[in-house]
Amino acid sequence: MPQPTIVFDLDGTLIDTAPDLVATLNVILAREGLPEVPYETARTFIGGGARLMLERGLIAGSRDPAPQLLNRLFEEFLAYYAEHIADRSRPFPGLERALDDLAMRGCRLAVCTNKLEGLSVTLLDALRLTSRFATICGQDTFGIQKPDPLVLHKTVAAAGGTMASAVMIGDSATDIRAAQAAGIPVIAVDFGYTDRHVSEFSPNRVIGHFDELVAAIEAVGALSPRNA
């Protein structure tokens, strides 16, 4: 069986980044005299990148997300977030054990996120996870982002893998649709940031803990079962 390439989303999949992202959003909104967005609402804004998160935050505060305003706040968001990127963000339970298991099974590991590449590397550096991945690709790496399937093709190629043996792991409709359009299996985690349950988007498998990941990858045919 070819060496599998396992492509992970970042926010809401690998790392619970919502505490720092939501805190940053509310700091920026407060500077504009706008009300904070409740945590459980704001966490569903995550997944399309910081600009979209800001746009949703402005709309929630009944402020027109005009391009000039959005551009200014985007720069402020990036500056503040970069200084607080790992204050409270942590890997989801069981992640490192699952990554160890996949590496021992000969898998290539990659990150494909709609977060900016530099911020993604900074976060994973802070959590000492960068070295586990063959490549870390953000929305600016190739100038395209999920759900465009081309970003998955380019990420897998950058990792040295092939689409024929690739699997996507994500937490949102964006991840699932990108994988489906690229013609690769997708495993959804149900602990991410979507406002609808991921099963509604028809992934190949849904898991509730990283302890279930390896078995799910086996189930979609990308890894031979241990006892095969």
**Cross-strand pairs, 166:** 5
Q: E-strand spans in the chain? A: 5-8, 15-16, 90-91, 108-112, 135-137, 166-170, 186-189, 205-207
Indicate the burial class of 220 (C-beta count within 10 angstroms; 0-12, 13-18, 19 or more).
middle
Same domain, 53 and 128: no
Same domain, 121 and 68: no
Residue 31's φ and ψ, nearest 5 degrees, are -60, -25
Same domain, 141 and 172: yes
Whether 9 is catalytic: yes
Quick check: is 103 in a domain? yes
Report which secondary-structure segment, H or E, holds 21.
helix 18-31
Quick check: is 106 in a domain? yes
Quick check: is 49 in a domain? yes
Q: How far apart are CA 46 and CA 90, in angstroms?
A: 16
Residue 191 has pLDDT above 90, yes or no: yes
CATH assignment of the domain containing 182: 3.40.50.1000
Computed over every residue of the chain, the mean pLDDT equals: 95
Structure confidence by residue, pLDDT tens digits, 43-88? 999 988 899 999 999 999 999 999 999 999 999 999 999 999 999 9
Q: Which one-letter amino acid corresponds to residue 202?
A: S
Q: Which of 60, 66, 30 has its CA nearest to residue 45?
A: 60
Alpha-carbon distances, residue 22 vs 28, 36, 95 (angstroms): 10, 9, 22
Q: Which residues span the domain enclosing 40?
A: 18-83
Confidence of residue 220 (pLDDT cuts 50, 70, 90): very high
Helix (H, G, I), strand (E, B), or coil: what is residue 157? helix
CATH assignment of the domain containing 54: 1.10.150.240
Which residue out of 9, 11, 16, 175 is catalytically annotated? 9
Residue 227: its pLDDT value, please? Answer: 59
Residue 47: its pLDDT value, please? Answer: 82
Quick check: is 225 in a domain? no
Report the number of distinct structural domains present in the chain. 2
Q: How far apart are CA 12 and CA 123, in angstroms?
A: 13
Residue 2: its pLDDT value, please? Answer: 80
